[in-house]
Amino acid sequence: MKTIEEITRYYGPQLAKGAFELGAIRLSPNDPFTWASGYRMPIYNDNRQFLAKSSYRALICDAFSDMLAALDFDPENIAGTSTAGIPHATTLADRLHKPLSYIRSSSKDHGLQNQIEGLGKNGSYEGKKVVLIEDLISTGKSSLQAVNAIINANGLVPYCLAIFTYGLDAATKAFEAVEPKCEPFTILSYPVMIQTAVEVGYINDEDAKTLHEWREDPFAWGANHGFEKVER
């Protein structure tokens, strides 16, 4: 059986190349993107672009399925984060013939005011084993909101599987603090993404150095490089 490390080493570079091809990951250290927060950042990620090709949707599903096997975890429910995690959770649930649910960032303000859909009349996981499917782990805040929603709905969620992560310290600390424990794993890591970008000629070594510097202090990086925050 493959280990998690072997799985990410196999799928990660393939996914990185697909991300560059489809524009799911864009790198521009010399002309940074302006994020919604106003901060200037050298990377932009939109994993919804993977929906455009069935081959990449299948690749992501293959990787998640192999990860579950490596973890020896047979979930009784596949939960996706709304909205970007839903299509990949759906593909995985269909592959594994498992029930599917999805988690909003907050409860609806009308109707039954559900935060989680797909649980039936009682709105509970009833102590079942759940795996959370996420598209991106950034600071970990939104992922852990979903984790806590599952826990509050009486679900057991020891793992969160995601397509990509920036590998920020904030996310590491956030997941370490959650109880009961939920361990995150991603198909593509930030270092593998940078390495692949250099190998395919998307960026050069100097760009790679700058992108590694960004991860050390992402919210100060722009100002430190002459790209001030855009006030909205």
Q: Report how far residue 145's alpha carbon sits from residue 65's, in angstroms, rounded to the nearest whole number.
A: 24
Tell me the whole-structure pTM to 2 decimals: 0.95
Q: Is pLDDT above 70 for 218?
A: yes
Rounded CA separation 34/37 (Å): 8
Q: What's the pLDDT at 120?
A: 86
Inter-residue contact 102 to 155 (CB < 8 Å): no
- According to the annotation, is 94 in a ligand binding site? no
Residue 182, burial from CB neighbour count under 10 angstroms (0-12, 13-18, 19+) = buried
pLDDT at 137 over 60: yes
Please give the distance of CA 207 from its chain centroid, rounded to a whole number: 24
Q: How many CB atoms lie within 10 A of CB 35?
A: 16
Q: pLDDT tens digit string along 112-136?
A: 568 999 998 888 999 999 999 999 9
The annotation status of 137 as a binding-site residue, yes or no, is: yes
Q: Is 210 annotated as a binding residue?
A: no
73 C-beta neighbours (distance < 10 Å), count = 13
Regarding the domain delimited by 4-224, which CATH topology (the fold level of the hierarchy) does it fall under?
A: Rossmann fold (3.40.50)
- Is the preceding peptide bond at 180 cis, omega within 30 degrees of 0? yes
Residue 28: CA count within 13 A, CB half-sphere: 13
**Domain segments of the chain as ranges:** 4-224
142 is in an annotated binding site: yes
Q: Determine which helix (DSSP H) or strand (DSSP E) holds 182, and give its type and residue range.
A: none
Contact yes or no for 131/161 (Cβ under 8 A): yes
Question: Is 134 annotated in some ligand binding site?
Answer: yes
DSSP per position, 178-224: -SS--EEEEEE-HHHHHHHHHHTTSS-HHHHHHHHHHHHSHHHHHHH
**Whole-angstrom distance, CA of residue 76 vs CA of residue 131:** 8
Compute the mean pLDDT over every residue in the chain, rounded to the nearest whole number.
Answer: 95
Least confident of 10-14, 113-117, 189-193: 113-117
Residue 96 marked as a ligand binder: no
**Residue 51 known to bind ligand:** no
pLDDT of 111 > 90? The answer is: no
Give kind and range of the element (H or E) at residue 25. Answer: strand 25-27
Residue 121, pLDDT score: 86
129 is in an annotated binding site: no
Where do we find the tokens 């790198």? Answer: 27
